[in-house]
Amino acid sequence: MKRRAVLLVALWCAAGAAQADAIDTLMGFVSGVKTGRAAFTQTVTSPDGVKKKTSSGSFEFLRPNRFRFAYTKPYEQLIVADGQKVWLYDTDLNQVTVRPFTQALGASPAALLAGASVDKDFELKALPDDAGLQWVQALPRAKDGSFQSLKVGFRGKTLAAVEIVDAFGQRSRLDFSQFEADPKLLAERFSFTPPSGADVIAQ
């Protein structure tokens, strides 16, 4: 009986340590990885779980607060944060939407991945490992945000997935592949100039 109790305690401690390591991994990612790039596939599921939409593209970031999402399938769309503003360019419509960075990001998933700090905007909680990934839940401290919850998944020390549930219950999951930590990325990569003739909408 004693040996069984010792084993259970050991397993419980090991599980606790593994979950704590997940938060350490996220904190290490935020503080230690200054630039990054990866391919991604995004799956958006309706609140009832029936309808799904899939898109794909590439993701790059340069801390602090600069990132670039380039969607290539099924439609071309570009989202660029230059540290001051966030630009969204819809290629088919030739339309650009621009918003101040602080207004557009706040406690958003992009802010978590490309920002300089997570403690200020998020409450972190380690979750059980799932599908070979270590997961951390990041709940926005502000209660009036645009999403309910956010989970970040790591495979070892490598960013592997982000899962978001928005304020309406819609679930979006981004699965990253070919992630490269600290590639040489120039600041010019994260600047954006509206194309000639594009309709620009400031919010």
Tell the residue number behind the tokens 């979006």, with chain if given.
172
Give the pLDDT score at 19: 46
Residues 6+ apart with CB under 8 A from 178: 38, 39
Give the pLDDT score at 111: 67
Convert the pLDDT of each residue in 6-19 to its tens digit: 333 332 333 333 44
The domains of the chain, with CATH numbers, are: 2-202 (2.50.20.10)
Under the banding of pLDDT at 50, 70 and 90, the label for residue 102 is: confident
Closest among 76, 85, 37 to 59, alpha carbons compared: 37
Beta carbons of 102 and 64 less than 8 angstroms apart:
no
Alpha carbon separation from 160 to 63, 65, 118, 131, 154 (Å, rounded):
19, 20, 18, 11, 5
Edge-to-edge strand ranges of the sheet holding 52-62: 122-130, 133-140, 147-155, 158-166, 171-181, 35-45, 52-62, 66-73, 77-82, 85-90, 95-100, 199-202
Give the pLDDT score at 114: 77
